[in-house]
Every structure is written in C-alpha cells, then in structure tokens.
C-alpha cells in the first residue's frame, strides 16, 4: 500500500490524516496516510529515510523551507513561494516539491464561495510565507490590484517587487489605507492570540467586501468577528483552504481530484461549526 505522511513539529493536531483518508475512500484509492513528527534539527534526514519507501508527504510548520531545499525539482508555484508543502516521489526516485497553499485559497474563494477575483481590489495582510505562497495564484485570477500591507513595510515592498512581473501588486503599511477594497485576506497569525491587524474599518464597504482569515477554530476568529461587526458581506475562515490545499496535493499524487465539499462538511461537523 502506498504510504504518505504529514511532517511537522508539532504534528499530532493535524487533520491531514482524516482528510486524506476521506479522499481515498471517496475516490477508491488504496493508501496509508499518517503523521510523522520530524526532529527540529534533522528534517532532511527524517524525510530522506521516509522516502526510501514512502510515495508522498505534506509538510507543515516549521519545515516548509527545509522541504524547499530538499526537493530535487520544484513546480513554478513552489519556486515563487520559496516554500514547499507537498513532496512527491517521481518514477526516477527524485523528489518534486510543490506548494498547494495558494491554489487551495483561490479554490476556496472561487469554487466554494463562488466569488470571482477578476477585476477585484485585493488587500493581503501580512508579508510572511503564507502571503508569498498566495501571490502567484491570486495574481493569476487577474485582479485589478493586490496590496500587501504589513507592519514592516520593507518586507511588503520586497514581496511586491518579487511578484510585480505577474500583475499589479504594491506594498503598504497597515495604517496607510482608508479606501474600501473588494477582498481582505488576513494572512497574519494575529487570530491565534485573539487580535486583529491594525487596519481601518473603512476598508470594508458595507455589504460588498469579502473578508477571509487563513486561520480557523471552533469559534469565529477575531478577524472574522471584526469583519462581521463592520458590515462585511461575507467573512470566511481558512478551513476550506485547508481542505482545498489537501485536495491539490491528493491530485498531484494520485492524478484524481477528490470532491472536497463533503470532506469540508465533515471537518465543520467535527469542529461543531
């Protein structure tokens, strides 16, 4: 039976084994998927040992950049992201690195939420790895503009310069912006501590702006609550992104695209949402 894992540290909380088990059952694929706690100081050794027999792996924090360095070849989106969340062993034994996070975000917005990003003004909050992974797939949707807002503006400027060949992308501080936008995506970790990035409520056009938090939990995140309180048309958490990035990885490994809708429904049921 083909073996897959998710590498992380910590990793016991991961929902990936359940997600991929449901995908396998749904598509009639025979595989074994489990968690693998990699040592913080030797991801490379742990992954190399696994791939003696294993077929593929997901990679979560803090190893996405380690996986990027380990891969023998990279997809274009992984190269752009500078990080790898999916490894696949090819027929010649080499490792292909991919990044499915941004594609998962875009599928959640466009397929699950039915929201077109074409011609929209998008505001991305943060300038870390999550934003870098999201930029290429977002710009491929042909938005009117993408603004990267961050506390340290230099980081946002660096990302804007890195991706400017793909579309209209610019940088900003959190407090520079006042005019409404169509989409606000929170890619900071502020929700983990119950905080909201310091942005103006005027960025939300009542009844029109879609707000998206890459984080999720049993309760609405602080950002989603803030968005609803200030009149956002839709406020979404990142659970759909989790399911969709997993679906992208499954498709890469098995050449079969699973239906994520029932899996996402089961995730929400388990969280009591």
Strand-strand pairing, 183-186 and 169-172? unpaired
205-253 confidence digits (pLDDT tens): 999 999 999 999 899 999 999 999 999 999 999 999 999 999 999 999 9
Round to whole Å and give the CA distance between 45 and 182. 45
Topology alike, domains 2-99+241-271 and 102-237: yes
Per-residue model confidence (pLDDT) at position 81: 95
- Name the nearest CA neighbour of 56 among 25, 111, 99, 97: 97
Per-residue model confidence (pLDDT) at position 184: 98
Q: Is the peptide bond before 64 cis (omega within 30 degrees of 0)?
A: no
pTM, rounded to two decimals: 0.95
The CATH number of the domain covering residues in 102-237: 3.40.50.720
The CATH number of the domain covering residues in 2-99+241-271: 3.40.50.10860
CA distances from 7 to 2, 38, 63, 200 (A): 16, 6, 8, 38
- Positions marked active-site: 64
155 forms beta bridges with none
The residue-averaged pLDDT of 90-100 equals 98
* Boundaries of every domain in the chain: 2-99+241-271, 102-237
pLDDT over threshold 80, residue 273: no
Round to whole Å and give the CA distance between 109 and 116. 8
- Give the CA-trace dihedral at 223, 229, 230, 234, to 10 degrees: 70
Which residue in this structure is represented by tokens 């793909």?
166
- The 10 Å Cβ neighbour count of residue 41 is 8
43-89 confidence digits (pLDDT tens): 999 999 999 999 999 999 999 999 999 999 999 999 999 999 999 99
131-183 confidence digits (pLDDT tens): 999 999 999 999 999 999 999 999 999 999 999 999 999 999 999 999 999 99
């Amino acid at each position: 039976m083909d073996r897959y894992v998710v590498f992380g540290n910590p990793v016991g909380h991961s929902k990936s084994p359940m997600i991929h088990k449901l995908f396998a059952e749904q598509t009639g694929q025979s595989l074994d998927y489990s968690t693998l706690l990699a040592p913080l100081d030797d991801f490379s050794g742990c992954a190399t040992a696994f791939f003696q027999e294993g077929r593929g792996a997901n990679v979560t924090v803090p190893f996405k950049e380690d996986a990027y360095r380990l891969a023998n070849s990279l997809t274009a989106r992984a190269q752009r992201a500078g990080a790898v969340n999916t490894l696949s062993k090819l027929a010649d034994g080499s490792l292909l690195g991919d990044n499915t996070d941004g594609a998962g975000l875009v599928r959640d917005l466009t397929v699950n939420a039915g929201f077109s990003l074409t011609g929209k003004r998008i505001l991305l909050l943060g300038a870390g790895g999550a934003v870098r992974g999201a930029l290429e797939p977002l710009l491929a949707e042909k938005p009117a503009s993408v603004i990267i807002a961050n506390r340290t503006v230099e980081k946002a400027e660096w990302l804007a310069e890195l991706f400017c060949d793909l579309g209209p992308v610019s940088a900003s501080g959190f407090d520079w912006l006042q005019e409404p936008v169509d989409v606000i995506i929170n890619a900071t970790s502020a929700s983990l501590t119950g905080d909201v990035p310091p942005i103006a409520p005027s960025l939300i056009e009542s009844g029109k702006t879609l707000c998206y938090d890459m984080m999720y939990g049993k309760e609405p995140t602080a950002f989603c609550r803030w968005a609803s309180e200030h009149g956002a048309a839709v406020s979404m958490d990142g659970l759909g992104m989790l399911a969709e990035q997993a679906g992208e990885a499954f498709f890469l490994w098995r050449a079969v695209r699973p239906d994520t809708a029932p899996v996402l429904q089961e995730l929400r049921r388990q969280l009591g949402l």
